[in-house]
Amino acid sequence: MGKIEEKIKAFSPNRWLVFVAAMWLQSMAGNGFLFGDISLVIKASLRYNQRQVAALSVAKNLGDCVGFLAGWVSAMLPAWGLLLIAAAQNFIGYGWLWLVVTKHAPALPLWMI
């Protein structure tokens, strides 16, 4: 048995390490896996039809593909600046979506989302 197999066997029974690794994987995977779970809530609260939810999903996928912009910005800014921008974008984007779903803010038109 090689060293890699030994490391995997030593890692897998430790439930806390597996939990942390799973959390890291989910955080790196982004919104791709989450959209299927929240699309029904978005559809019901914003009164979207299936075509509008599909358009929103396509826009989300296109947004995921523009990672080269983050690479370009990371070449110009220090790591803390890039993380600050990313945190602000996530806070505004998901925060506004939460406010809309909980009916604390007006729903935006589909083209703005």
Q: What per-residue confidence (pLDDT) applies to 68? A: 67
In a domain, 12, yes or no: no
Q: How many domains are there within the chain?
A: 1
In a domain, 82, yes or no: yes
Q: Which of 1-5, 28-32, 49-53 has the highest mean pLDDT?
A: 49-53
Three-point CA angle 91, 27, 48, nearest 5°: 60
In a domain, 15, yes or no: no
- Residue-range definition of the domain harbouring residue 53: 33-102
How far apart CA 99 and CA 107 sit, in angstroms, is 9
Q: What per-residue confidence (pLDDT) applies to 12? A: 63
- Mean pLDDT score, 75-91: 83
Q: What per-residue confidence (pLDDT) applies to 64? A: 66
Q: What per-residue confidence (pLDDT) applies to 5? A: 73
- Confidence class for position 26, pLDDT limits 50, 70, 90: low
In a domain, 87, yes or no: yes
- Mean pLDDT score, 85-91: 83
Q: What per-residue confidence (pLDDT) applies to 31? A: 60
In a domain, 5, yes or no: no
Backbone angles phi, psi at 76, to 5 degrees: -105, -25
Backbone angles phi, psi at 34, to 5 degrees: -80, -30
For 35-51, the pLDDT digits (tens) are 777 788 888 878 888 89
For 44-82, the pLDDT digits (tens) are 878 888 898 888 888 877 776 776 677 777 788 887 887
